[in-house]
Structure 1
């Protein structure tokens, strides 16, 4: 846990160090690509912190789901920074905007589903729009988002995966194959997604004739810690390299290594 804690602490400094070490000296502003890259890292770190809290309290039920999200964020960072960074990051950006539009439409629509969601949230339609800043999502905005996603990124429909820019990468599995992460996918995503969808509930029980016993599944804490730390470290390395911050990358690796061998 000590090494994991150090990895999280040092990775949380990345945003500030990238701003101070890259943007300020060059006098340039953060653009969409930078927001996407650093936002994905932040999401990865936040889920790692959630995992840390669960492990500290010996709660294991949701660890597989969280590790899956951590892995996905790492995959997306790696894919975006591999090449055509601006193009790929903008495709991701527009796909998130489409999700926001769909969420707004679903919550505010005059349907039983929309009504039930608003009831659950204890919000009226106007209150939902206010909280989601829907005033900026007028019809012109929505049309522009959908048209840009189709025109600039060659997406045949709004639900097409943002990383399917070649028309051949239709799933995360195929994306992982393209990035040389097939083993990671098989170990993490394929296996863990079973629990995510509740399909392995039967494994928690021992079923014999006229008897059903609950089995306490043993979770390996070090497995989750090491894998999460690895994806954070690799993501930080990719980001520092992207911004040509070699000294900061060396310092980051040194700090983690020193803590690991204490």
Structure 2
């Protein structure tokens, strides 16, 4: 590594985000689809929240979970895209160390939360289709709130060790991150220490949280499809499938 890319520090005050290395000349053009997608995401999710709030007929578990998913998507995209656009448009590459850790936490926490919300929505559809007579008594407003709170707390608590693990490392190589946001492993790889604990913990989260959610979602929709195909008429199957 060249001397220009080296620095001697144990607690860096800032990191330098490169954006997309090798495509610096095209950053402005690359920003266009990202900006467009971000604007659509913000507009679409706020529209969902507005419509559900204004329409009393949508005040039910399925749409409450949809609103939670919309909020999760808004926070997750807002934690990365604005900084990325500032890099592409204004060459604003510096990010404070604490801000970098905060961004890392939000990305990890809300990506895990999104997985949990999708699992909650799968459970909602499972009860609605496979046990319709128990739907109103099982998924009450109180139950929906408790499920949502459990998903938020699970994600927030399980991803909390990440920034603390990263902060405790000494950094003596470089403060340049070849990415457009502070990804966990992208930052950890800059540390001058054994980072195996981060790798193991990341695998633990991947398999024990997101992996379990994916399995739960797959099982839920498999049971839903089985229930649909057991319906006596084609019209009933199409209606329920829809």
TM-score bucket of the superposed structures, by smaller chain: 0.3 to 0.5
TM, length-normalised to structure 1:
0.36
TM-score (normalizing by structure 2): 0.38
